[in-house]
Chain A
Amino acid sequence: MSTALEVGTENCAGPEAGEITPALEEQATDLIARYPVSARSAVMPLLHLWQETFGYIGPRGVEWIAKKLSLQEIQVLELVTFYPWFRQKPYGKFHFRVCRTLPCALGGAGKTFAALQKLMGLKPGTHEGVMVSADGRFSLEYSECLASCGTAPVVLCNDNFHEKVDEKKATELVGGCS
């Protein structure tokens, strides 16, 4: 396991535009095959696939998935709006999720969040929803329990997980974003 302070490889910035490659089609087919009883079960895996490929889930993604699984578009869209992980607009190139639940709060998550806000040039004092920096490089949000309460406070940067992120480590993390 890598211990270096590196950011993840997840594509959080979009745009949703881009070619639907045969490789993507093949991945989708493989995912659907995991649900021999009901193809509808593949909605969430396909939403993950689309978001990871194109950065976010817009109307184009909803339409593509609905068509693939012979569903109404609303049956796809209602999942996008229900599950907090799915996003309908691009985030920053480097998206940070800071756990805010009690054990992390006791460990100083609020200070970590404030430090990240400052480092990213985001408006201080606010915390509702996702904040994206003006240049689109960074985005930041609070997340609920990330299940690593013994190493609080914890942060997900794109798809890379970091433990015991105090203000110093937060500075290193942001510094490592390039």
Chain B
Amino acid sequence: MFLMARREHRLVFKNIDVRGYTRDIACYQKHGGYEILKKGLAMGGAAIRDEVKKSQLRGRGGAGFPTGTKWSFIDPAKTTKPIYLICNADESEPGTFKDRQIIHKDPHQLLEGMILSCFANGVKLAYLYIRCEFTEGWKIMEKALEEARAAGFLGKNILKTGYDLEIYVHRGAGAYICGEETGLIESLEGKRAYPRIKPPYFPAVLGLYMCPTIVNNVETLCNVKHIVEMGGEAYANIGRSNNTGTRLLCVSGDVVRPGYYEFPVGALTLGQLINDVCGGIRNGNRLKAVIPGGSSAKVLKAGEVYKIKEKGLDGKMLDKEVGLEDLRLDFDTLAAAGSMAGSGGVIVMDHTRDMVECLANISAFYAHESCGQCTPCREGVLWLKKILGRIAEGHGREDDPALLKEVADRIAGRTICAFGEAAAWPVQSFISKFKAEFSARIARNGSASRHDTISLLH
């Protein structure tokens, strides 16, 4: 079991870092590239949508929403407006660096998945929204698009099937909020990336240019290619029920071997990932805390035990007590433990790290990235940053932990988009789980209390 757990199951990352594999179209085609596109075009759009539904694929950008369901909000046969598809390549959730690998090392896999998804949903115009900090990545994608166009996989009458599709790259400009799908759409329309008021909850109803729009993450679109290749049922056999397929996991922070790995969803536990796959905590230190799904996810504390409901062999739901290191890395288990699988970014902190400083760093991120549209978030997140800053600098006040919780509680649920929750959750979870550390820090006030255990506070 433990030996098995260490073996990766590379599907999306099959060709990543393979010796001799290059990102040009010739190499991609030599490895079977664009053959699945031909298969998909022959299957027809409805059949592809059906396979994606059967696969139970859940979105890999953070929310974990079933892709087949998202697609099913649009019926290409009935809608009279054009349908758009946008690939969300604005990878910017702290702790996440999987899409970067695909874009840099296997861009045509993304394009093949994207073209298949466009074809399945009757899309004739699609955009790839890439963050501009990927300065090399956007040039790579532009070149890949040119190559695909020249080879007849894009443009008019693709592979003589009569299907037309254009894909263009659109670069962001350094704003995290563009990862929120309606913020992204506003940005693509040439406006400030203010997320849109819900309802409608999905851009499938009103999206880009007020037309039905599908927004999918890079990894999700790559998975579509593999689903078309192996069939939805075979794909659903990888991983676990309702948590199917493989997952790209990005591990950063205090482990011996940080990096990106691919495993069937739920195939290994948090402890196996940290200790077996990543070689344990670095410098011989002990585990203190883990953020399991990008910085927005609630923190998990070493030694915690979670009460989780799990289906037993007889099909009945059983109450189980599971320790932190035995938590299965899938959508449902991490949600049951009070956190989330999010974007797959696992940030590990060892026992030398000061939790006040870690949280101060996280809150500074959210204060910088709040788009400023909703007052509770614009003002509240700045308060969080300032209060945490003063505690970390040795000027904390006794009631600061309570004040932090109060402010965070008043942001979550009172904003147009989920950024409010993303900014509040780290604060709520750090304060409740490491309360003693915050109080001790405040009791020790003064310049002597400054540790700087994370190399920078702000």
A residues near B (Cβ < 8 Å) are: 1, 8, 10, 34-38, 40-45, 47-48, 69, 75, 78-79, 82-86, 97, 100-103, 105-111, 113, 127, 142-152, 156, 159-161
Q: Which of B157-165, B361-369, B393-401 contacts A (4 or more CB under 8 A)?
A: B361-369
Cβ of A149 and Cβ of B189 under 8 Å apart? Answer: no
Cβ of B173 and Cβ of A159 under 8 Å apart? Answer: no
Q: Total contacts A to B, CB within 8 angstroms?
A: 168
**CB of B326 closer than 8 Å to a CB of A:** no
Which residues of B have CB within 8 Å of A146? 133
Cβ of A45 and Cβ of B135 under 8 Å apart? Answer: no
By CB atoms of chain A within 10 A, which of B168, B260, B457 has the most?
A: B168
B residues near A (Cβ < 8 Å) are: 82, 91-97, 99-100, 104, 125, 131-136, 168, 170-176, 187-193, 209, 250-254, 258-260, 291, 295, 345, 347, 349, 353, 358, 361-362, 364-365, 368-369, 371, 452, 454-458
Cβ of A48 and Cβ of B132 under 8 Å apart? Answer: yes
By CB atoms of chain A within 10 A, which of B172, B209, B252, B362 has the most?
A: B252
Q: Which residue of B lies closest to A112 (CB)?
A: B455
Q: In the complex the two chains form, what is the Cα distance from A85 to B172 in whole Å?
A: 9
Which residues of B have CB within 8 Å of A79? 173, 190-192
Query: Given contacts A101-B295, A106-B353, A109-B456, are A147 and B91 in contact (CB under 8 A)?
Result: yes
Measured CB to CB, the closest approach of chain B to A98, in angstroms, equals 9
Which residues of B have CB within 8 Å of A113? 456
Sample of 4 further A-B pairs with CB below 8 A, known A41-B190, A44-B190 = A79-B192, A103-B253, A127-B456, A147-B91
Q: In the complex the two chains form, what is the Cα distance from A42 to B191 in whole Å?
A: 10
Which residues of A have CB within 8 Å of B172? 44, 83, 85
Which residues of A have CB within 8 Å of B456? 100, 105, 109-110, 113, 127
Which residues of B have CB within 8 Å of A156? 133, 135
Q: In the complex the two chains form, what is the Cα distance from A75 to B186 in whole Å?
A: 13
Cβ of B252 and Cβ of A147 under 8 Å apart? Answer: no
